[in-house]
Amino acid sequence: MTHRLQLWWARYRRNATLDLPLLALLLAACGLGLMVLYSAGGGDTGLVLKQSLRFALGFAALLLIAWLPPAALRRWSPWAYAVGVLLLIAVAVLGEGRGAQRWLDFGFVRFQPSEILKLAVPMTLAGYLHERVLPPSLLDLIVLGALTAVPALLIIEQPDLGT
């Protein structure tokens, strides 16, 4: 098993583009956050364990995304954008959380679709511009504005503008 893990890690390191100093700062910030949570929670380790699990899941997602080639991210970003917009529409119809319509409850997890769009919108805009000659034309600017306005208007409809 160890040999397989070493092979996987070697292949991952060949394909991934990680900024190690930035990664070290991220891990330090996560560690500091866990210490503050432990202190603020009065020594409750349950909160720290839950947050540690969330950090681990986020770190796994970071490693996966770092491993993907940029062309794949460019190809998938319009799909992530479309799913995010559809989920925002679903929030307008079905969602609620603490008096504001911004969450979807799937039973095992409560989810805020606007989080997908925090990544999908800039990636979609960058993918669109990647295929164009710069500087962008007026038509390109209108398309970019529309791509930004659709999720923005759906989020403005929600009482929570923290996103």
Q: What is the pLDDT of residues 28-84, one digit of tens each?
A: 999 999 999 999 888 788 889 999 999 999 899 888 888 888 888 889 999 999 999
pLDDT in tens, 100-153: 556 766 666 777 888 889 989 999 999 999 988 889 899 999 999 999 999 999
Q: How far apart are CA 163 and CA 159, in angstroms?
A: 11
Question: Where does the chain have alpha helices with state H?
Answer: 2-15, 20-40, 45-67, 70-94, 114-130, 138-156
Model-level pTM? 0.70
Domain boundaries, the chain: 1-67, 69-163
Chain centre distance of CA 144: 20
Distance between CA atoms of 71 and 141, rounded to whole angstroms?
23
* C-alpha–C-alpha distance, residues 1 and 42, integer Å: 40
